[in-house]
Structure 1
Amino acid sequence: MPKLLQDPQKAGKPTLVLYDLRDDNRRTRVMNACKDYGLARWQYSAYHGRLTGAARRELETRLEKAMGSSPGLIAILQMEQWQLDNATLISQEAEGD
């Protein structure tokens, strides 16, 4: 198991990372960076979890390097708990799952 770069016991703000990158290698780097900071996959190109301010800045730097000059987008959204509490999530499991 890889060592997390942020202590999961530290309370941070809810954070959502969304990305849309064409290059498979760069997508993998972004995915690994999110996992290294203890974020959980929400859907294919979205991760969520809690990050302290310092951890968020470190992750931003790492994601910027991972993206390089490739076309695409990475959005790091720091949220307040009330925004998650008031969010509407609509989901449906695929048949057979």
Structure 2
Amino acid sequence: MVKVIQDERKAGQPTLVLYDVQDDKRRTKVMNACKDYGLARWQYSAYQGKLTHAARRELETRLEKALGDSGGLIAILQLEQWQIDDATIIFQVPEDD
């Protein structure tokens, strides 16, 4: 069960976390950390949601620890709401054969 660390009632900034982590165990830790902070999976290695400044700093520390010394990259992007509202997102559900 996911334990959400950030209080969902607190306003936060739109945040996007992108990652490419080679080690399976460390990648799972990154994924779990994102879920624990209430971020939703946007695609396989991308999570999005709203984080307060304090929650973002905590998540950064946790993700840095999760990556450790293994190969990979984690990007935490703080966005403005207008960027989300103005974004073009193309989504297609494949037809059943």
Normalized against structure 2, the TM-score is what?
0.95
| 2:2–2:35 CA contact under 8 A, matched in 1 | no
Distance across 2 between alignment mates of 1:23 and 1:2: 22
Partner of 2:2: 2
Distance across 1 between alignment mates of 2:45 and 2:80: 21
SS in 2 for 1:76: strand
Distance across 1 between alignment mates of 2:75 and 2:5: 20
Q: Does 1:62 align with 2:91?
A: no
83-92 or 55-64, which moves further after superposition?
A: 83-92
Q: Does 1:92 align with 2:92?
A: yes
Partner of 2:44: 44
> Quick one: percent identity of the two aligned structures?
75
Distance across 1 between alignment mates of 2:25 and 2:2: 19
Give the number of equivalent residue pairs: 96
Any gaps of 5 or more consecutive residues in structure 1?
Answer: none
| 2:34–2:59 CA contact under 8 A, matched in 1 | yes
Any gaps of 5 or more consecutive residues in structure 2?
Answer: none
Runs of 4+ in structure 1 deviating by more than 3 angstroms, as ranges, are: none
- AA aligned to 1:73 is L
By how many angstroms is 1:94 displaced? 1.9
- AA aligned to 2:2 is P
Tell me how large the CA RMSD over aligned residues is. 0.9
Distance across 2 between alignment mates of 1:34 and 1:3: 11
By how many angstroms is 1:4 displaced? 1.1
Distance across 1 between alignment mates of 2:73 and 2:93: 28
